[in-house]
Amino acid sequence: MAETGQIVEAGQLTRRAVEAISERHGEPRWMREFRLDAFEAFERLPWPTTRDEKWRRTDLSGLKVDELTPFAEAPAGPLPAGLRMTVDAFGAHSGLLVQRNSVAVHADLDGQVRERGVVLADMHQALREQPDLVREHFMRYVRPEKSKFSALHAAFWTGGTFLYVPPHVEVALPLQSYTWIDSERVSIFPHTIIVAGEGSKVTVIDGFGSLTAEYQAFADPIVELALHEGAQVRYVTMQDWGRNVWEVGIIRSALARDATLNSLLVGLGGKLVKADVESVLQGPGASSEMLGLVFGDGRQHYDIQTLQEHAAPHTTSDLLYKNAVKDRATSVFIGMIRVHPGAQKTNAFQVNRNLILSDGAKAISDPKLEIMANDLRCTHGSATSRLNEEHLFYLMSRGLTRAEAVRMVVEGFFAELFERVPLERVGAQLHVAVAAKMTE
Amino acid sequence: MADLEIKDLTVQVEDKVILKGANLTLNKGEIHALMGPNGSGKSTLANVLMGNPFYQVVKGGILYKGEDLLAMAPDARARKGLFIAFQYPVSIPGVTMSSFLRTAVSARRGYEKELIPVGEFQKLLKQKLAELPIIEPTIVGRYVNEGFSGGEKKRAEILQMAMLEPEIAIMDETDSGLDIDSVKIVAEGITRMYERANGNMGILVITHYSRILHYIKPSNVHVMFDGRIVVSGGPELAEELEAAGYEGIRSQFEVIAAEVQHEGAVKRAGKVFWVEH
């Protein structure tokens, strides 16, 4: 097995490095050119600073991308215990994909599911085996020139998951994908595409984690979900990076007529995490549930910016983000509801609730509206609260220690999310994760 | 040594003095009633007994089984067998009664690292629910007090009391907000708990009205006025109050209040006494 950083050296955010990565994967010409165009955009675009509106709350000056290696081979040997435990904890699945550093190391898909035409592969394999499908969707919903980081991603992407569910196929058990960073001083750029055909139904759990490392690592993932007419997708992304991982990521979904997306973003780990979570309702009757659970501690910084974009009439978006912060952690929630002209009879709901557990912790909430239609129902609300001493006293009067009482209040704070995600194993994992956060 | 001994308890909330030297002694195997008009300080006493941080004790003390109760955190008090059925229990969003009860029972029974086994807990819960037919069993699947009616909240408090098997229980206006039939059934449930404890439970029933005392028979009745216990007697005192209201006591109280202001020292007018410390 090759050593980390063999084909590209640290700090090489260069045209030559882009070519080397493309060559390493034996890519078709169009992809190589796509990468090189993106690299030009990357070079052209400035690094964001806190003077940019979108970056006002998040200071990236501590991120040393130019000291990190933009491609790292997977280490040899069995899966690390932490990763194996996570995979096992989510239980039965129809398919599983595991990526370590920049490279996929494991892929399996239930035979019966495969026979029905479902494709679950790492993105490079998919590019070799399903070139037309990949080309049709690759960075169609997130354009490389969207930002410095999407351009960087488009130029250097490696790994990620490609899932295609043919029309009218229902996959009973969840498909799971795990991305694990084994090394420090690396950047990873996994690209995930989920295509749900007309009337299909699938659940995807996308997990992210890493070893706890001394030095920085960086993740710049992009996830694109394309839901065709009447498709039903449940997508759970569960991020539990080690404490030295920085992330700037995008999840963007496009929903055709009558498609339904139920998504949940879980943010637990990392040092600094900036995520854009966007759902575009393109066809009448489309419906997007966007749930979020963020729990920051220590000096973690989360900046989640959501977009509920209604581009067609009779569409529904329902967003609930619950962020808890303790110690000196910060959470930023910026939620935009955008309703296009003509997107009448739209329902757009947005709720952000924050719970501050320590004096040094901070939660910022900033809902925004851009409404260009006039016949719609739109509500948005945000509330930030601190621990309620009366609640704690009540619980303590029954014998719970203060710590137990706080844990119970926090679990109660998140309970609504657990209830809205009917995946027992995910709920159980979240309970464990929340309890672990409380004792840290 | 009494099980619960309240001595010269003086308590304030912000700048207002609510309790002005309250004294009361209660033992396991006894039921005492604490009566008094609204605003006399009964609920304050209950809250201070449980350690509500909102109240500041400025003078006096409380011994619980010989230990300084005021030095203990509320959870330590609960684990040592003190219980209060709150007048206005708060709701805890997202926390189910069953998980709350299981955690509380575990704490009371000395489980430290883990919780009481599910099977054992379920058995106990089933048994207690069977003993308290007034409690709708579906309550355990709901969030703690969330969306409960006044009566449901009171009944949920009784279920907690039954589950925790306290040694000293304070019932803070458990009868208020309940209709007369419910008062009777709740009181019978409490009496059954008391009898079953076989001398190992003491109860302080705090109430404005005497009606609950028809069903929970106290051995001692105390009347609180303006932050002090001014009359103590047997069960007949509750009957007198029921007949005459607090007005009889109020007039006697006002006579000696005036005298104490002029002369100080121990005063007694009819049943009403006052010890100025």
- Please state the three-class secondary structure of chain B as a single string: CCCEEEEEEEEEECCEEEEEEEEEEECCCCEEEEECCCCCCHHHHHHHHHCCCCCEEEEEEEEECCEEHHHCCHHHHHHCCEEEECCCCCCCCCCEHHHHHHHHHHHHCCCCCCCCCHHHHHHHHHHHHHHCCCCCHHHHHCECCCCCCHHHHHHHHHHHHHHHCCCEEEEECCCCCCCHHHHHHHHHHHHHHHHHHCCCCEEEEEECCCHHHHCCCCCEEEEEECCEEEEEECCHHHHHHHHHCCHHHHHHHHHHHHHHHHHCCCEEECCEEECCC
pLDDT over 70 at B270, yes or no: no
Q: Do A400 and B108 touch (CB under 8 A)?
A: no
Among A230-234, B14-18, B172-176, B263-267, the range scoring the smallest mean pLDDT is B263-267
Q: How many whole angstroms separate alpha carbon B144 and alpha carbon B156?
A: 9
Residue B264: the pLDDT is: 58
Among A74-88, A97-111, A140-154, the range scoring the smallest mean pLDDT is A74-88
Chain A residues touching residue B54 (CB < 8 angstroms): 389-390, 393
Q: Do A413 and B160 touch (CB under 8 A)?
A: no
Both tokens of residue B6? 């309240």
Q: Do A398 and B107 touch (CB under 8 A)?
A: yes
Q: Do B78 and A396 touch (CB under 8 A)?
A: yes
Q: What DSSP designation does A37 have?
A: H
Of A429 and B69, the structure prediction assigns the larger pLDDT to B69
Rounded to the nearest 5 degrees, what angle is found at the Cα of A22, between the Cα atoms of A19 and A27? 135
Q: Cβ(A288)–Cβ(A261) under 8 Å?
A: yes
The pLDDT tens digits for A306-338 are 999 999 999 999 999 999 999 999 999 999 999
User: What are the angstrom distances between the C-alpha of A48 and each of A42, A207, B167?
Assistant: 12, 27, 64
Residue B113: the pLDDT is: 85
pLDDT over 70 at B271, yes or no: no
Placement of tokens 């780990």 in the chain: A269
Q: pLDDT class for B130, splitting at 50, 70, 90?
A: very high
| Average pLDDT score over residue span A184-189 | 94
User: What are the angstrom distances between the C-alpha of B165 and each of A154, B161, B193?
Assistant: 64, 6, 8
Chain B contact present for A428, CB below 8 A: no
Q: How many whole angstroms separate alpha carbon B25 and alpha carbon B166?
A: 17
Both tokens of residue A330? 């910060």
Please tell me which residue of chain A has the smallest CA distance to B113. Answer: A404
Residue B268: the pLDDT is: 67
**Residue B257: what residue type?**
A
Of B78, B94, B164, the CB nearest to A416: B94
Both tokens of residue A144? 């490389």
User: What are the angstrom distances between the C-alpha of A232 and each of A104, A193, A291?
Assistant: 27, 15, 16
Chain B residues touching residue A414 (CB < 8 angstroms): 94
Q: pLDDT class for A409, splitting at 50, 70, 90?
A: very high
Q: What percent of chain A shows pLDDT beyond 90?
A: 87
The pLDDT tens digits for A265-288 are 999 999 999 999 999 999 999 999
The pLDDT tens digits for A236-269 are 999 999 999 999 999 999 999 999 999 999 999 9
Q: State phi, psi for A113 to the nearest 5 degrees.
A: -70, -40
Please tell me which residue of chain B has the smallest CA distance to A392. Answer: B92
Residue B266: the pLDDT is: 59
Residue A2: the pLDDT is: 39
Q: Do B104 and A399 touch (CB under 8 A)?
A: yes
Specify whether the backbone of A407 is left (phi greater than 0), alpha (psi in -120 to 50) or beta. Answer: alpha
Both tokens of residue A201? 């139904």
| Domain layout of chain A by residue ranges | 15-282, 389-440
Residue A131: the pLDDT is: 95
Rounded to the nearest 5 degrees, what angle is found at the Cα of A388, between the Cα atoms of A384 and A393? 170
User: What are the angstrom distances between the C-alpha of A217 and each of A1, A27, A211, A244, A267?
Assistant: 21, 26, 10, 6, 17
How many angstroms separate the CA of residue A236 from the nearest CA in chain B? 21
Among A123-132, A398-407, B114-123, B250-259, the range scoring the smallest mean pLDDT is B250-259
Strand partners, A96: A108, A176
pLDDT over 80 at A108, yes or no: yes
- Kindly give, in sequence order, each residue whose CB lies less than 8 Å from that of residue A427, ignoring residues fewer than 6 positions away: A418, A421
Residue B277: the pLDDT is: 41
Q: pLDDT class for B245, splitting at 50, 70, 90?
A: confident
**Coil, strand or helix: which one is A210?**
strand
Q: State phi, psi for B229 to the nearest 5 degrees.
A: -85, 115
Q: Which ipTM value was assigned to this complex? A: 0.94
| Average pLDDT score over residue span A38-53 | 95
The pLDDT tens digits for B176-210 are 888 888 899 889 999 999 999 999 999 999 998 88
Strands A175-181 and A232-240: unpaired
Mean pLDDT over each residue of chain B, to the nearest integer:
91
pLDDT over 50 at A4, yes or no: no
Of A394, A401, A411, the CB nearest to B90: A394
How many angstroms separate the CA of residue B249 from the nearest CA in chain A? 34
Placement of tokens 């907690």 in the chain: B160
Residue B246: the pLDDT is: 83
Please tell me which residue of chain A has the smallest CA distance to B161. Answer: A398
Q: pLDDT class for B112, splitting at 50, 70, 90?
A: confident
Mean pLDDT over each residue of chain A, to the nearest integer:
94
How many angstroms separate the CA of residue B176 from the nearest CA in chain A? 19
The H or E element that residue A204 is part of is strand A201-210
Nearest to residue A289, comparing CAs of A354, A345, A227?
A227
Residue B67: the pLDDT is: 96
Residue A411 CA neighbour count, 13 Å, CB half: 23
Both tokens of residue A162? 């490609």
Residue A43: the pLDDT is: 96
Query: What residues 112-141 of chain A have any CB closer than 8 A to a CB of chain B?
Result: none
Domains, chain B, ranges and CATH? Answer: 4-245 (3.40.50.300)
| Average pLDDT score over residue span B25-43 | 94
Q: pLDDT class for A195, splitting at 50, 70, 90?
A: very high
Residue B262: the pLDDT is: 67
- Kindly give, in sequence order, each residue whose CB lies less than 8 Å from that of residue B106, ignoring residues fewer than 6 positions away: B114, B115, B116
Q: At what angle do helices B150-164 and B180-197 cross, to 10 degrees?
A: 10
Both tokens of residue A264? 């949940």
Strands A222-227 and A191-196: parallel
Query: What residues 403-422 of chain A have any CB closer than 8 A to a CB of chain B?
Result: 404-405, 408-409, 411-416
Among A18-22, B55-59, B235-239, the range scoring the smallest mean pLDDT is B235-239
* Chain B: residues touching A (Cβ < 8 Å): 50-54, 73-75, 77-79, 83-84, 86, 89-90, 92-95, 99-100, 103-104, 107-108, 143, 160, 164
Total CB pairs under 8 A between chain A and B: 82
Nearest to residue B33, comparing CAs of B135, B227, B198, B171?
B171
**Residue B5: what residue type?**
E
Q: Do A404 and B93 touch (CB under 8 A)?
A: no
pLDDT over 80 at A3, yes or no: no
pLDDT over 90 at A171, yes or no: yes
Of B86, B94, B103, the CB nearest to A400: B103
Placement of tokens 């930030």 in the chain: A384
Residue B273: the pLDDT is: 65
Residue A1: the pLDDT is: 36
Chain B contact present for A394, CB below 8 A: yes
Please tell me which residue of chain A has the smallest CA distance to B108. Answer: A399
Q: What percent of chain A shows pLDDT beyond 70?
A: 99
Both tokens of residue B134? 């007034």
Of B74, B103, B143, the CB nearest to A397: B74
Of B84, B93, B94, the CB nearest to A397: B84
Strands A260-267 and A232-240: parallel
Chain A residues touching residue B103 (CB < 8 angstroms): 398, 400, 404, 408
